[in-house]
Structures are given as structure tokens and as C-alpha cells.
Amino acid sequence: MPLDLILLGPPGAGKGTQAKILSQRLGIPHVASGDLFRDHLHRQTPLGQLARQYMDRGELVPDDVTIGMIRERLEQADCRNGVILDGFPRTPAQAQALDELLAGMGRSLAAVLYIRVRNELLLRRLAGRWTCRVCGAVYHIEFNPPRVPGRCDLDGGPLYQREDDTEEVQRRRIQVYQEQTAPLVSFYRERGLLVEIDGECSIPEVTEELIRAIEVRKAVDP
Ligand code: AP5
């Protein structure tokens, strides 16, 4: 059975950081709606130009656009054994659409891993984030610095700060998360899919907690 997982949590919780590690460990792709939008933006596609209007303000891109993009991605061959979804779903309509999409493929969610981090830590994490322009690896100036300042450990690529990481937009993203995405926590808890993870530990500790939680879920529902 494919292993379909969601990483849920506020901006800066560590979803992208952990999804990249889990993808390596579990051998399934990391599908991040934010990364897909940024790729469109970089290629200057019409979808990218549309998404930019929302991303620059920290608002959500409309559901129909986002769902269409994820549908296309999930239909690709590398997703057949499962996916680690990061940043999707973010609204009840997206959660509903995901259920339908997976059901249409004869699949269902294995677990929703909710990474909990207090608001006061989120801004500190986002303010210090640097990302590799080449491979997308994520660093933190204080918590996870690169070996050589400004260069990626993996490929030496230049590190940059995301355009939506100004303090004003970060605050708005956290607010939008509270208003529109946080309700998914109880939605998935009621369905018995939610596993809460303490996101305030070190990066390796969070990874081990996630792996343990996934193993437990796999044992319950092989
Ligand atoms: P998106 O790219 O998804 O951004 P986000 O949700 O705001 O999440 P982030 O990427 O900021 O945080 P993260 O949890 O991945 O943290 P990270 O691992 O980098 O979305 C961007 C925009 O796209 C949205 O605003 C919206 O406009 C649009 N969009 C995307 N999806 C959409 C959807 N489904 N619907 C509609 N619109 C959508 O970690 C952060 C920092 O902390 C890093 O520096 C990292 O090194 C550090 N760190 C991580 N873990 C730890 C730890 N345990 N200890 C110390 N430091 C840590």
C-alpha cells in the first residue's frame, strides 16, 4: 500500500526541513505546494504569475488553482509508492479534494504528522532561514548553519532568503495559518489520523520522533 503522509504545521515549524530528510529515509517524494509555486514563479509561467500576487502578501493561492496543481503532481509516476505532502492541504476544501483524489487512486492517508511549535519561536526560525538556490536545502543562521557561510553543504550553491520572508509577510502567513489551516488539526484528529510531534526539539530529534510515529502507524494499518 502506498505511504501517503501529510506534514502539517505553521510556517517555520520545520515541515520542509523534515520532509526532505524523510523523503531520503523513506524513499518517497516530497511534494511541497510552496516549492511547486516557487518553481512556477521562477519559470514565469502564468500559474507562477498568478500565485505571486498571493504569496507576496502571505495569502493563500485560491483552492481550485492549488488543487489542480497538486492533482497533476500526484499523478506522476514517482508518486505511486506514496508521498510526503508539505504545505498541502491548507484549507478544509483542499483536505476534501485530497481525500477524493487519493480515493480515486484507490489510496488513503496513512497519517497526518502535526509539528507543533509555539508562535514566538516561529518568527525567529523564519528570520534566520537561508535556502539553497540550486537544491532547495534549508539552513538556519543560528540553529542549522552551513559549513561555509552563504554556500550549500551539499552542492556549494548560493544561499538566498525567500521573498516572502519579510517580517510583515511572515506575521501574515502565521495569521493566515491560524485562521484557515489550524482547523485541519481537529478535522484530522477526529478521523484518528493526527499524530502530534514536538517541533521544538533539535532537527534530528524531531526526525526520530516522526520516524517512530510513522512506524507505529504502519504497524496499525500495514
Ligand atoms: P510554503 O512554502 O508552504 O511556506 P510556509 O507554510 O509558510 O512554510 P515554511 O516553508 O515557511 O516553513 P516550514 O515549516 O517548511 O519550515 P522550514 O523547514 O523551512 O508557502 C508559501 C506560500 O505559498 C504561502 O504563503 C501561500 O501563498 C502559497 N501556498 C503554499 N501552499 C499553499 C496551499 N496549499 N494553498 C494555498 N496557497 C499555498 O524551517 C524554518 C527554519 O527553521 C529553517 O531555517 C530551518 O533550518 C529551521 N528549523 C527547522 N526545524 C528546526 C528545529 N527543529 N530546530 C531549530 N531550527 C529548525
Catalytic: which of 20, 38, 73, 90? Answer: 90
**CA 15 to centroid of ligand 1, rounded, Å:** 6
DSSP structure string for 85-96? EES---SHHHHH
Q: Is the pLDDT of residue 152 over 80?
A: yes
Pairing status of strand 111-116 against strand 3-8: parallel
**CA 105 to centroid of ligand 1, rounded, Å:** 28
Q: Is 151 a catalytic residue?
A: no
- The tens digit of pLDDT for each residue in 1-47 reads 899 999 999 999 999 999 999 999 999 999 999 999 999 999 999 99
pLDDT of residue 140: 96
Q: In this structure, what C-alpha cell is assigned to residue 1?
A: 500500500
**CA 78 to centroid of ligand 1, rounded, Å:** 23
- The tens digit of pLDDT for each residue in 92-140 reads 999 999 999 999 999 999 999 999 999 999 999 999 999 999 999 999 9
Q: Does domain 3-127+182-220 have CATH number 3.40.50.1820?
A: no
Kindly indicate the confidence band of residue 62, based on its pLDDT and cuts at 50, 70 and 90.
very high
Average pLDDT (194-220) is 95
70 Cβ contact list (under 8 Å, min separation 6): 31, 33, 36, 85, 88, 94, 98, 101
pLDDT of residue 155: 97
Where do the domains of the chain lie? 3-127+182-220
Mutate to test the pocket of ligand 1, among 37, 39, 180, 210 (most ligand atoms within 8 A of CB): 37
* pTM of the predicted structure, to 2 decimals: 0.96
- The tens digit of pLDDT for each residue in 153-168 reads 999 999 999 989 999 9
Q: Is the pLDDT of residue 222 over 70?
A: no
DSSP structure string for 3-39? EEEEEE--TTSSHHHHHHHHHHHHT--EEEHHHHHHH
Q: Is 15 a catalytic residue?
A: yes
Burial class (CB in 10 A: 0-12, 13-18, 19+), 22: buried
pLDDT of residue 219: 82
